[in-house]
Amino acid sequence: MKRLLIKNAKGLVGTHPADLLRVGGRSMKDLPIIADGWLAAEDGRITGVGIMDSFPGITDWSDLTVIDAEDRYVLPGWCDPHTHTVFAASREEEFVDKIKGHTYQEIAARGGGILNSAAKLRAMSEDELFTKAKVRLEGMMHQGTAAVEIKSGYGLSVESELKMLRVAKRLKEALPLQVRTTLLAAHALPPEFKDDRSAYLDLIVNELIPRVTAEGLADFVDVFCETNYFTVAEMERILVAGAVYGLRGKVHVNQFTSIGGIQAAVKHHALSVDHLEVMEEADIEALANMHSTQLHGRGTGSEAPIPTLLPSCSFFLRIPYGPARQLMDRDLAVALATDHNPGSTPSGNMNFVLSLACIQLRMLPEEAINAMTLNSAAAMAVEADLGSISIGKRASLIITKKIPSLAYLPYTFGNDNIDTVLIDGAPVRSGEALA
Ligand code: NIG
Ligand code: FE
**Secondary structure string (H, E, C) spanning the chain:** CCEEEEEEEEEEECCCCCCCCCCCHHHCCCCCEEEEEEEEEECCEEEEEEEHHHCCCCCCCCCEEEEECECCEEEECEEECCCCCCCCCCCHHHHHHHHCCCCHHHHHHCCCHHHHHHHHHHHCCHHHHHHHHHHHHHHHHHCCEEEEEEECCCCCCHHHHHHHHHHHHHHHHHCCCEEEEEEEEECCCCHHHCCCHHHHHHHHHHHHHHHHHHCCCCCEEEEEECCCCECHHHHHHHHHHHHHCCCEEEEEECCCCCCCHHHHHHHCCCCEEEECCCCCHHHHHHHHHHHHCCCCCCCCCCCCCEEEECHHHHHHHCCCCCCHHHHHHCCCCCEECCCCECCCECCCCHHHHHHHHHHCCCCCHHHHHHHHCHHHHHCCCCCCCCCCCCCCCECCEEEECCCCCCCHHHHCCCCCCEEEEEECCEEEECCHHHC
Q: Is the minimum distance from the CB of 261 to ligand 1 under 6 angstroms? A: no
* Residue 99 Cα to ligand 1 middle (Å): 18
Q: Is the minimum distance from the CB of 313 to ligand 1 under 6 angstroms? A: yes
Q: Is the minimum distance from the CB of 250 to ligand 1 under 6 angstroms? A: no
Q: Is the minimum distance from the CB of 339 to ligand 1 under 6 angstroms? A: yes
State the pLDDT confidence band at 115, using cuts at 50, 70 and 90: very high
CATH class belonging to 79-378: alpha beta
**Ligand 1 atom nearest to 113, measured from its CA:** 9
- Domain limits, the chain: 3-76+388-434, 79-378
Domain 3-76+388-434 CATH superfamily: Urease, subunit C, domain 1 (2.30.40.10)
Residue nearest to atom 9 of ligand 1 (CA): 343
| Residue of 83, 91, 224, 277 to test ligand 1 pocket, by largest number of atoms within 8 Å of CB | 224
Q: Is the minimum distance from the CB of 276 to ligand 1 under 6 angstroms? A: no
Q: What is the pTM for the complete model shown?
A: 0.97
- Check residue 210 and give its pLDDT: 98
**Ligand 1 atom nearest to 342, measured from its CA:** 10
Percent of the chain with pLDDT over 90: 93
Least confident of 52-66, 302-316, 366-380: 52-66
- Check residue 294 and give its pLDDT: 64
Percent of the chain with pLDDT over 70: 98
pLDDT digits (tens, 9 = 90+) for 315-374: 999 999 999 999 999 999 999 999 999 999 999 999 999 999 999 999 999 999 999 999
